[in-house]
């Protein structure tokens, strides 16, 4: 018998009802300030993921060990940011209500706000761990309060002081760094030093993990809208993902892959591998 040609991410073959972990694409890049293109990430990741194996030698585990579901891509209104965020929030809420872990594929980083709105409603004591080259702490950007350059500030509006842990940060304007230094957020510049201590502090707390893939060095991951030299290696990011996976991660995302800027396809392959390792790490524990 023939099967319908439905392309899911590698190893995400379960039915929704059986699944514990649900990925979906949020192909939105309307507020991108420099180079758009992240709207294509989830589709290209699905097709390129088949260049990977389902088995992770790092974790001695296989995507097929778990019940994983790929919910496809949301249809988002490009001209209407608030409406796009609402749709992401609604979809995330549904997955949480069904007692599953949502994992969104961006899109530009602003999509995280929609998902965090949903998760923070269910978990008012939510903490956010952000891996990123950029602070994303601007109060507004080019007169826009909703932007990939303001997303973490908008999340701070929701959660308040002491709830956001940033790692790998190496870009932002001076006021952003000064604001962060007033203890509004915890910021580790340049690398993942101290992540183990954060994990100790957040034991038992609900955590949202957001991975802006531009935390990686552009030599590893050139396919992104605002590449920033001086980033971490793939192995450092993998180690960081494994370190935080011991926490109670109630939702997560990977964002800011912009495949068109990397003709070699390496960035997409890296993004797929990050997602594989993340899915295995969260489901394994």
Nearer to Mn ion, 68 or 213 (CB): 213
148 and 258 Cβ atoms separated by less than 8 Å: no
Residue 205 three-state SS: coil
Q: What angle do CA 239, 243, 245 make, to 5 degrees?
A: 115
* Contact between 136 and Mn ion per CB under 5 A: yes
Stretch that binds Mn ion, among 49-57, 133-141, 155-163, 241-249 (CB under 5 A): 133-141
Nearer to Mn ion, 11 or 225 (CB): 225
Which helix or strand (DSSP H or E) is residue 86 part of? helix 81-97
CB of 212 to Mn ion, least distance (A): 4
Give every CB contact of residue 171 below 8 A, 6+ residues apart in sequence: 133, 134, 135, 226, 228
Give the number of residues in contact with Mn ion, rule: CB under 5 A: 7
* Contact between 163 and Mn ion per CB under 5 A: no
Nearer to Mn ion, 63 or 105 (CB): 105
Among 89, 176, 212, 262, binds Mn ion (CB under 5 A): 212
Nearer to Mn ion, 214 or 277 (CB): 214
* Contact between 134 and Mn ion per CB under 5 A: yes
Phi/psi region, residue 123 (left: phi>0; alpha: psi -120 to 50; beta: rest), is beta
CB of 227 to Mn ion, least distance (A): 9
Among 48, 132, 236, 253, binds Mn ion (CB under 5 A): 132
Which helix or strand (DSSP H or E) is residue 94 part of? helix 81-97
* Contact between 133 and Mn ion per CB under 5 A: yes
Among 214, 217, 236, 253, binds Mn ion (CB under 5 A): 214
Closest CA to 134 of 220, 223, 221, 231: 231
Structure tokens at 74: 């949301």
Structure tokens at 38: 């992240």
Q: Site residues (CB under 5 A) for Mn ion? A: 109, 132-134, 136, 212, 214
């Amino acid at each position: 018998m023939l099967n319908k040609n439905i392309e899911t991410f590698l190893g995400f073959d379960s039915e929704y009802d059986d699944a514990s972990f649900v990925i979906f694409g949020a192909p939105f890049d309307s507020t991108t300030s420099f180079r758009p293109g992240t709207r294509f990430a989830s589709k290209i990741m699905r097709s390129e993921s088949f260049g990977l194996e389902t088995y992770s030698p790092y974790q001695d585990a296989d995507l097929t060990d778990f019940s994983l579901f790929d919910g496809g891509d949301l249809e988002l209104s490009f001209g209407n940011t608030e409406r796009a965020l609402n749709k992401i929030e609604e979809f995330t809420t549904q997955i949480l209500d069904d007692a599953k872990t949502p994992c969104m594929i961006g899109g530009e980083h602003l999509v995280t706000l929609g998902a965090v709105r949903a998760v923070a409603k269910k978990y008012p004591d939510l903490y956010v761990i952000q891996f990123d080259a950029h602070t994303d702490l601007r109060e507004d950007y080019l007169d826009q309060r909703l932007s990939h350059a303001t997303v973490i500030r908008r999340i701070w509006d929701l959660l308040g002081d002491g709830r956001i842990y940033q790692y790998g940060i190496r870009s932002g304007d001076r006021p952003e760094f000064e604001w962060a230094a007033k203890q509004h957020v915890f910021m580790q510049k340049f690398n993942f030093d101290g992540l183990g201590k954060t994990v100790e502090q957040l034991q038992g707390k609900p955590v949202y993990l957001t991975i802006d893939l531009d935390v990686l060095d552009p030599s590893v991951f050139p396919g992104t809208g605002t590449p920033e030299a001086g980033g971490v290696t793939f192995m450092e990011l993998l180690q960081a993902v494994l370190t935080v996976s011991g926490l109670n991660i109630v939702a997560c995302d990977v964002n800011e892959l912009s495949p068109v800027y990397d003709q070699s396809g390496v960035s997409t392959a890296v993004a797929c591998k990050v997602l594989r390792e993340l899915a295995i790490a969260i489901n394994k524990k």
